[in-house]
Amino acid sequence: PRVAVIVVAAGSGTRLAGGAPKAFVGIDGSSILRHALDGIAAAPPAQVVIVVPSGREGDARTEALSVFGDRNELVTVVAGGATRQQSVAAGLAALWADVDTVLVHDAARALTPPAVFARVIDEVRRSGAGVIPMRPVVDTLKRVADAVVTEAVDRTPLVAAQTPQGFPRAALEDAYARAGAEHTDDAALFAAAGHEVRTVDGDDLSFKITTPADLDRARHLLRSGAP
Ligand code: C5P
């Protein structure tokens, strides 16, 4: 297949308070975006679309050049929107004509191992469905109303969804064209359009860097040799 990875990196990073849009905050010597691109460059797809805040396109091209070097012509950089869903839509509009499989990935999941990308691509190819990487839920879950526990929730059938989420291109474009409301993720939008979504194993290293504590965790993991 001809695979494109859309890396959404247009979030503001308000919760991270890193002094820059989140993707441009440094983990070690390298930014969150650069680490995310490193994971993709290990097995480069046909196209990488990087979606960044308007005005940051040049910075993204510089980061991409340092990662992809003379293969940099596979990179497209576009400006994102006010919501993640709008940013993904901007990325979809920039896909090359011959791309048939699309992975949508949060730059904030900067340490995602290359093997997760491979598992998602293989399962999209095998099944023709949408595919999400998932982890089991480890916390004990409760349903709560007005600060009172109303029910214990059985976590056995529940999973936590990660990215990259993979889709056949035509079906994903169809789902985006029909999406009325904002959805929690691309898989939810895809399912709302009537398409099947399957799962593969995710990875604990694919956690999303959201808070300063998440950034500390990523720094610690990199110092101890991850991913
Ligand atoms: O805000 P949150 O952590 O859920 O964002 C997940 C991913 O979506 C991040 O990589 C962020 O940069 C991206 N995003 C985006 N455009 C937005 C909001 C978030 O590309 N408007």
The predicted-structure confidence for 55-103, as pLDDT tens digits, reads as follows 999 999 999 999 999 999 999 999 999 999 999 999 999 999 999 999 9
- The predicted structure's pLDDT at residue 18: 83
Mean of the pLDDT values across residues 47-54?
97
Span 3-22, mean pLDDT?
92
Contacts of 51 (CB under 8 A, 6+ apart): 6, 7, 8, 9, 10, 78, 79, 80, 87, 88, 90, 91
- Does the pLDDT of residue 121 top 90, yes or no? yes
Q: Check whether 221 has a pLDDT greater than 90.
A: yes
Q: What pLDDT was estimated at residue 226? A: 78
Residue 116 CA to ligand 1 center (angstroms) comes to 20
Question: Residue 151, SS3?
Answer: strand
31 has a pLDDT exceeding 80: yes
Whole-model pTM: value is 0.96
Residue 1 has pLDDT above 90, yes or no: no
Residue to substitute in 49, 51, 106 for testing ligand 1 pocket (most ligand atoms within 8 angstroms of CB): 106
Q: What is the pLDDT of residue 225?
A: 87
Q: Is the pLDDT of residue 37 over 80?
A: yes
Q: What residue spans define the domains of the chain?
A: 3-223
- What lies within 8 Å, CB to CB, of 131 at 6+ separation is 120, 123, 124, 165, 166, 167, 197, 198, 199, 200
Compute φ and ψ for 153, nearest 5 degrees.
-105, 125
Torsion angle of the four alpha carbons 143, 149, 151, 157, in this order, in degrees rounded to the nearest 10: 40
Which string of b and e fits 153-173 if b means at least 16 CB within 10 Å?
eeeeeeeebbbbbbbbbebbb
Return d(Cα 197, Cα 133) in angstroms, integer.
11
Which ipTM score applies to this complex?
0.97
pLDDT band at 17 (very low <50, low <70, confident <90, very high): confident
pLDDT at site 180: 84
| Residue 164: closest CA among 15, 68, 40 | 40
Rounded CA-CA distance 226/29 in Å is 15
Please give all residues whose beta carbon lies within 6 A of any atom in ligand 1, as ranges.
Answer: 8-11, 22-23, 51, 80-84, 87, 106-108, 208, 210
**What is the average pLDDT across 40-52?**
96
Residue 167 has pLDDT above 90, yes or no: yes
138 closest CA partner among 153, 115, 159: 159
**Which of 15, 87, 104 for mutating ligand 1's site (highest number of atoms within 8 Å of CB)?**
87
Look at residues 98, 87, 11 and name the one whose alpha carbon lies nearest to residue 49. Answer: 87
Domain 3-223 has CATH 3.60.70.12: no
Query: What are the φ and ψ backbone dihedral angles of 160, each rounded to 5 degrees?
Result: -100, 130
Residue 215, beta-bridge partner list: none
- Phi, psi for residue 106 in degrees, rounded to 5: -75, 120
User: Could you identify the atom of ligand 1 that is nearest to the CA of residue 9?
Assistant: 12
Q: How far is the CA of 152 from the centre of ligand 1 (A)?
A: 31
For residues 93 and 79, give the distance between their C-alpha atoms in angstroms, rounded to a whole number. 11
Q: Which of 5, 6, 84 to mutate to test the pocket of ligand 1 (most atoms within 8 A of CB)?
A: 84
